[in-house]
């Protein structure tokens, strides 16, 4: 029975890794973060929040596509954004999720 348990656990682990790999494969290498976000717009749309609330003061092009309210979950609810992003920006004061930079994506219908 011990080998059956190890075999079952190994199969479940392999299935989980395969699933994760398949999800990441939908994003190109330069935007490898697959995220579900509440909004997507230009950095300048909320630059006051990004700079004054999040403390992000690095120089950035105001037209950089920026997603907010992001998490690494499957994006299945209408109105959310299924995005691929280059990087995450820390925002300790944010209660709605992470902020991601240089994103492309589409709204879930």
Residues 19-49 have pLDDT tens digits of 333 344 489 999 999 999 999 999 999 888 8
Backbone angles phi, psi at 103, to 5 degrees: -110, 150
Q: Is residue 85 part of a domain?
A: yes
Do the beta carbons of residue 98 and residue 88 sit within 8 Å? yes
Do the beta carbons of residue 34 and residue 71 sit within 8 Å? no
Number of domains, the chain? 1
Q: Is residue 20 part of a domain?
A: no
User: Could you tell me the pTM of the whole model?
Assistant: 0.70
Residues 53-85 have pLDDT tens digits of 888 888 889 999 999 999 988 999 999 999 999
Range of the domain at 88: 28-107
Residue 91 binned pLDDT confidence (cut-offs 50, 70, 90): confident
Q: Is residue 3 part of a domain?
A: no
pLDDT the model gives residue 95: 65
Q: Is residue 18 part of a domain?
A: no
Please say if the pLDDT value at position 88 is more than 80. yes
Q: Is residue 14 part of a domain?
A: no
Q: Beta partners for 35?
A: 83
Q: Is residue 1 part of a domain?
A: no
Q: Is residue 8 part of a domain?
A: no
Do the beta carbons of residue 45 and residue 84 sit within 8 Å? no
């Amino acid at each position: 029975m011990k080998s059956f348990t190890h075999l079952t656990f190994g199969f479940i682990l392999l299935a989980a890794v395969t699933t994760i790999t398949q999800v990441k494969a939908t994003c190109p290498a330069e935007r490898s973060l697959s995220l579900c976000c509440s909004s997507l717009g230009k950095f300048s749309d909320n630059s006051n929040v990004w700079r004054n609330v999040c403390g992000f003061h690095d120089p950035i092009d105001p037209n950089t596509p920026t997603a907010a309210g992001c998490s690494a979950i499957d994006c299945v609810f209408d109105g959310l954004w299924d995005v691929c992003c280059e990087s995450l920006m820390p925002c300790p004061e944010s209660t709605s999720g992470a902020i991601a930079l240089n994103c492309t994506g589409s709204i879930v219908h």
